[in-house]
Amino acid sequence: EWKEWKVDTELAAFRKNLLLLYRSKKPILTQLNEAQTELEFVQPVLDLLGYASSYIVQATTKLGQRTNRPDYALFPDEATKDKAYAKIKNNDYTQCIGIADAKYWERELDLAKSSERDTFTNQNPSFQIAGYLTGTKQNWGILTNGRLWRLYSTKSHLPLGNYYQVDLVQLLEEAPIEILKYFYVFFHKQALVQVDGKSLLDRILEGSEEYAVELEADIKERAYDVVELLCRGFAANFSHRQLTDATLKSIYDNSLTL
């Protein structure tokens, strides 16, 4: 078990503070625009996740001839952040540990739409975070509309389509605290800080990909066994009578293609 997973004491305090924040802001969240949502809810959540004084707001990054401004450039600590102000002017994000972008409460994250609650742009948020990660050469990004929180990785085979998502309201109102631990550990600043060249999220992603390869091999092996069993069943069933064209077509149409 990873040492980062042993956070039961911190998790209890985190849940208490997060629940207090959500309940206090719940009456106004649907009325806020993007910038207001960030100020009233997203930034306090980031602070609870360890990012207090460790992010630069509206940092500038260039992708080709286009200038982008991700909402938050995340850093391992305040001292590193302070030194980075001069560097990011030259699009140098080498000391950054990730990028975060926020939208107004419950805004669709996979849809471009026009709304007065979008402060600066009406672009597709998932496309935006992908562009920010490319422009800053960062591996990890957080995208949120306050309620939904997503983790994106440029190391993923399909960065736009593969992400880890949690429903924060559901976690607070319905799920046991052990489920909330995934949000706390995976989205916490310490999950992005590199140790010996790798962050916790890097190690988790590598482990999941290794497991997927093993699972794929196991499924293929089982599938071949099943197909062989099916073929033997057909052979035994039809060994003493003629197979009509209609029967052969039915067998073909309903066969597995590996």
pLDDT in tens, 127-183: 999 999 999 999 999 999 999 999 999 987 666 678 999 999 999 999 999 999 999
Average pLDDT over residues 80-99: 95
- What's the confidence (pLDDT) of residue 211? 46
Separation between Cα atoms, residue 169 and residue 21, nearest integer Å = 12
The phi, psi pair for 18, rounded to 5°, reads -65, -40
- What's the confidence (pLDDT) of residue 215? 46
Identify the architecture of domain 3-193 in CATH. Answer: Alpha-Beta Complex (3.90)
- What's the confidence (pLDDT) of residue 21? 99
- What's the confidence (pLDDT) of residue 126? 94
Domain boundaries, the chain: 3-193, 208-253
Q: Is the pLDDT of residue 188 over 60?
A: yes
Q: Is the pLDDT of residue 27 over 90?
A: yes
